[in-house]
Structure 1
Amino acid sequence: MSIALPDIDELTRSDERVDPARPWQTVVWNDPVNLMTYVVHVFREYFGHPPEVATRLMLAVHHEGRAVVSEGPREQMELHAQAMHDFGLWATVQQAPE
């Protein structure tokens, strides 16, 4: 079993620009602690996903190490990431790719 860790860049670059037109994403990462059934439960409970969507996202987390679970304004994605932390899941926020 491999565990994907969030890619955290310790160096803040002042030459990088944030494009305000691009949405942001909440990413949930695989961890060695939470059961797959619990992750499905969290996705259903918090995001309101139907069972099929919650299971597909959980399987992406499990097999690919991460899954984008939500996309929208930065502030909302930060709230979602904090909520995932409150549920005991690893989550980060990133700007959506171009």
Structure 2
Amino acid sequence: MVGALPREDVASDTVADLAAPWQTVVWNDPVNLMNYVVHVFREYFGFSAAVATERMLAVHHDGHAVVAEGAREQMELHARAMHDYGLWATVRRAEA
């Protein structure tokens, strides 16, 4: 084929980066009450009262908690939903 560009192979580490798990992290803030954070975790993620309370206490005591792990796109949707609830959330690559 005349004028065709050479095909570039995708590096395996790039493919691995796309498959690597990501996390949605909720951060502590001075605005939201603890019982509201538990409510959000139960309503949105479907956590039991015990799990929602455990994650809320991690946010409160440690400053943050991982509330979900998976594909980057899904974690970004979760972070956006947390923002809609008024919580501060970010997305990060899961630690190996």
Scaled to the shorter chain, the TM-score interval is 0.7 to 0.9
Tell me the TM-score normalised to structure 2 length.
0.82
Identity level (%): 74
My pick for the range that moved more, 20-29 or 65-74, is 20-29
Partner SS for 1:19:
helix
Deviations 1:49-71 (A, max 9, x none): 00000000000000000000000
What is the match of residue 27 of structure 1?
25
What is the match of residue 12 of structure 1?
none
Structure 1 gaps of 5+ residues are: 1-16
Tell me the TM-score normalised to structure 1 length.
0.81
Alignment partner of 2:81 out of 80, 83, 87: 83
For residues 68 and 20 of structure 1, the distance between their equivalents in structure 2, rounded to whole angstroms, comes to 20
For residues 22 and 65 of structure 1, the distance between their equivalents in structure 2, rounded to whole angstroms, comes to 25
Deviations 1:16-72 (A, max 9, x none): x78223200000000000000000000000000000000000000000000000000
For residues 76 and 91 of structure 2, the distance between their equivalents in structure 1, rounded to whole angstroms, comes to 6
2:70 matched to 1:72?
A: yes
Aligned residues: 82
RMSD: 1.2
Quick check: which one's helix share is greater? 2
Partner SS for 1:97:
coil
Structure 2 gaps of 5+ residues are: 1-13
Moved over 6 A (4+): none
